[in-house]
Amino acid sequence: MPKIIPIKDLKNTSQISEMCHIAEEPIYITKNGYGDMVIMSVELYEMTMKKLNMYHQLELSENQIDTGKTTDARESLDNLRKKYAL
């Protein structure tokens, strides 16, 4: 379940930092009862960005397959062998 805290609780930075490192998901900050910000540890942020990049790369690959911008692996290897006399 997501952790939600009011913005006034951000005054205790060491406690918030500890919460971010313990939590395995972002912490949502509210202001006047409405969502305002999201905070997370650097580790969680980096892991999230890696996943996002992987999904983006998969989408690009699927688009290349759909548009026929792929070649047979054996054919590509044969071309490389010929080109570099391997």
**Average model confidence (pLDDT) across the chain:** 94
Strand partners, 41: none
Same domain, 46 and 86: yes
The domain of 8 spans 1-40
Q: Averaged over 42-71, what is the pLDDT? A: 96
Single out the residue of 55, 47, 50 nearest to residue 23, CA to CA: 47
Residues of the chain with pLDDT > 70, as a percent, come to 100
Alpha-carbon distance of 11 to 80, in angstroms, equals 60
Could you give the CA distance from residue 13 to residue 43 in angstroms, rounded to a whole number?
Answer: 18
Let me know: does 19 contact 27? Beta carbons within 8 Å.
yes
pTM beyond 0.85, yes or no: no
Residue 1 confidence (pLDDT): 83
Domain match, 61 and 25 both: no
Structural domains in the chain (count): 2
